[in-house]
Chain A
């Protein structure tokens, strides 16, 4: 204990050196372990979500983009499919489709256009309010509610597609109908709307003043038999209210309306296999098993992690050598002190014990710090992964 006491006095006296050593050892130990913890949690979340999603239909192209957009609402928007795709699945009689249109954002949160079946499929619970029932209503994830400080009855405006495209998509002011309970999944940070609302945001559907009843003739560009053409002065609604909801309508063929993916829920494994067989050589669509795509992703992540591990090992060796150098230099600096205690009569073993006690204190403090930081990472790993990795 006396060696520990003397060593403690020494390390606390030399605070600067001690702090640098503790920080170095802590970081070298903490970084790979924290990385491993976060990767494990990422893998768990990715796999859980992927395993919960049997099949995914999207446009032919990158399977990873399709999965990342449809399951994790990644920024990368995959090539679009249209409303003929659900019909194809319906007609197969092997599965039912859940449409997804994930393209727009609202104050940093992805807007997910879907149907009410999505909430049942994901097992999502409401913390407040109700699910969307009207055009222009939204249900927000728990994290969106907390981050933006909004709840039921508040409104949320979709972000313009392109700030410089004044002829592009108009922002739509949506009313929050409900807030989801925390699910520790990407759903926490999404804004859910009916797919038709997403099409309104896209500009495929819109509401405006009634040209047949308007008293302002300046908005009329041309009037033929049965057809009225308005000019740019026509007031278009940017918020859907009970007063104007009837004015909202869609143009074009419904079959052409876009989707980014279909969550495909097969009746059973056999139906899934048959369905996959039908899309193997399809040039328009790809039907993927998200878990298989995530397997490939995890293999890539694992390879990257191996490289990072190798770098960390090299850094750890360099740090260790630096620490050895610091102690070696410290011994030179302390030669007079060691000479003094030798002359007093201190044994060689005591000298070793004093140095060992100093190392023990530094390593112990580093270990405690590292354990504390890892504990913080561990208890926050789900949120950290959501915020840092799967964002």
Chain B
């Protein structure tokens, strides 16, 4: 991964992707995100924002062009390598939190370490998880089941889960979409603070235009409209 502060974290060129049997085709001529940058991606529903996140994370593989994250050309990795790369280098924050009801808050945060051999769960990691929960103001809820938390608390736990492996890149897919206005600002404050603490790059898909001024840059999918069909 790149370490220089303003080096390119994400570099996309002539990206093309379509789902089998679907008429939709995503085309991104070029997109680059600098390391440490906070980029908001906006655009109408169905324009391919989530698909773009999936391509960057290596969940989907483009049928044209390439995606580079740091020094790694994700689109050229095999399935296992993409998964390993994703869990160690990319943190995902989802709109509906996607915490597991049957795990406690702490277990949810530690979950990536339990499901991947690429990460090692040890005492320092546990300690860091507790610190993260503390920084996010939910340390007292660590043993509560995830479903018992409010939506704002659940999203804070989900952010802790995304940040714990100290990824260089955070992908947030409408992370504040399900939150009330107060919680939106609060969660964004916390997410930005933790991203800054970790020196990570943030690429966030959002529909909420009120939040856009807080990002370093905004990429409107309308700019790619001519390419998408």
Which chain B residues border A279 with CB–CB below 8 Å? Answer: none
Of the listed stretches A43-51, A188-196, A293-301, A345-353, name the one at the interface; the rest are far from the partner chain.
A345-353
Which chain B residues border A347 with CB–CB below 8 Å? Answer: 80, 83-84, 116-117
Among B88-133, those with CB < 8 Å from A are 88, 90, 92, 94, 98, 100-103, 107, 111-118, 121
Q: Please tell me if A256 contacts chain B, counting CB pairs below 8 Å.
A: no
Bound Cα distance A6, B114 (Å):
8
The residue in A9, A340, A342, A345 that gathers the most chain B C-beta atoms within 10 A of its C-beta is: A345
- Say whether A341 contacts B57, CB under 8 Å: no
Q: Please tell me if A227 contacts chain B, counting CB pairs below 8 Å.
A: no
Q: Which among A5, A12, A14 is the interface contact of B114 at CB below 8 angstroms?
A: A5
Report A350 CB to chain B, min CB distance, Å.
Answer: 5
Nearest residue (CB) in B for A6 is B114
Q: Which among B79, B101, B107, B115 is the interface contact of A350 at CB below 8 angstroms?
A: B115
Instruction: Type the 1/0 row for B65-87, where 1 means its CB is closer than 8 Å to any CB of A.
Output: 00000000000000110011111
- Say whether A344 contacts B102, CB under 8 Å: no
Which chain A residues border B188 with CB–CB below 8 Å? Answer: none
Which chain A residues border B80 with CB–CB below 8 Å? Answer: 347
Please, how many residues of chain A have a CB less than 8 angstroms from a CB on the other chain? 22
Bound Cα distance A354, B84 (Å):
17
The residue in B100, B101, B113 that gathers the most chain A C-beta atoms within 10 A of its C-beta is: B100
Bound Cα distance A337, B118 (Å):
20
Bound Cα distance A9, B111 (Å):
12
- Say whether A6 contacts B111, CB under 8 Å: yes
Which chain A residues border B59 with CB–CB below 8 Å? Answer: 342-343
Which chain A residues border B111 with CB–CB below 8 Å? Answer: 6, 341, 344
Report B201 CB to chain A, min CB distance, Å.
Answer: 17
Q: Please tell me if A13 contacts chain B, counting CB pairs below 8 Å.
A: yes
Q: Please tell me if A10 contacts chain B, counting CB pairs below 8 Å.
A: yes
Q: Please tell me if A2 contacts chain B, counting CB pairs below 8 Å.
A: yes
Report A173 CB to chain B, min CB distance, Å.
Answer: 67
Q: A2-B121, A6-B111, A343-B57 are known contacts. Are A13 and B101 too (CB-CB below 8 A)?
A: yes
Q: Please tell me if A336 contacts chain B, counting CB pairs below 8 Å.
A: yes
- Say whether B87 contacts A344, CB under 8 Å: yes
- Say whether B114 contacts A343, CB under 8 Å: no
Which chain A residues border B90 with CB–CB below 8 Å? Answer: 345
- Say whether A2 contacts B92, CB under 8 Å: no
Bound Cα distance A337, B112 (Å):
13
Among B165-214, those with CB < 8 Å from A are none
Bound Cα distance A348, B98 (Å):
19
Among A1-60, those with CB < 8 Å from B are 2-3, 5-6, 9-10, 12-14
- Say whether B98 contacts A2, CB under 8 Å: no
- Say whether A354 contacts B115, CB under 8 Å: yes
Which chain B residues border A13 with CB–CB below 8 Å? Answer: 101-102
Report A352 CB to chain B, min CB distance, Å.
Answer: 12
Report B160 CB to chain A, min CB distance, Å.
Answer: 13
Bound Cα distance A3, B114 (Å):
7
Which chain B residues border A346 with CB–CB below 8 Å? Answer: 83, 87, 115-116
- Say whether B98 contacts A340, CB under 8 Å: yes
Nearest residue (CB) in A for B121 is A2
Bound Cα distance A362, B101 (Å):
20
- Say whether A2 contacts B113, CB under 8 Å: yes
Which chain B residues border A345 with CB–CB below 8 Å? Answer: 83-88, 90, 112, 116, 118
Which chain B residues border A336 with CB–CB below 8 Å? Answer: 98
Bound Cα distance A10, B92 (Å):
23
Report A136 CB to chain B, min CB distance, Å.
Answer: 71
- Say whether A9 contacts B107, CB under 8 Å: yes
Which chain B residues border A348 with CB–CB below 8 Å? Answer: 79
Which chain B residues border A340 with CB–CB below 8 Å? Answer: 94, 98, 100
Report A111 CB to chain B, min CB distance, Å.
Answer: 62
Report B87 CB to chain A, min CB distance, Å.
Answer: 3
Q: List 30 A-B contacts (CB under 8 A).
A: A2-B114, A2-B115, A2-B121, A3-B114, A6-B103, A6-B107, A6-B114, A6-B115, A9-B102, A14-B102, A336-B98, A337-B100, A341-B115, A342-B59, A342-B83, A343-B54, A343-B92, A344-B86, A344-B92, A344-B115, A344-B116, A344-B161, A345-B84, A345-B86, A345-B88, A345-B112, A347-B80, A347-B84, A347-B116, A350-B117
Q: A12-B102, A343-B86 are in contact. List 10 more A-B contacts (CB 8 A).
A: A6-B103, A13-B102, A340-B94, A344-B111, A344-B115, A345-B85, A345-B86, A345-B90, A345-B116, A354-B115
Q: Please give the residue numbers on chain B whose beta carbons come within 8 Å of chain A beta carbons, in ascending order.
A: 54, 57, 59, 79-80, 83-88, 90, 92, 94, 98, 100-103, 107, 111-118, 121, 161
8 tightest A-B CB contacts, nearest first? A345-B87, A13-B102, A345-B86, A2-B114, A340-B98, A346-B115, A345-B83, A350-B115
Q: Please give the residue numbers on chain A whose beta carbons come within 8 Å of chain B beta carbons, in ascending order.
A: 2-3, 5-6, 9-10, 12-14, 336-337, 340-348, 350, 354
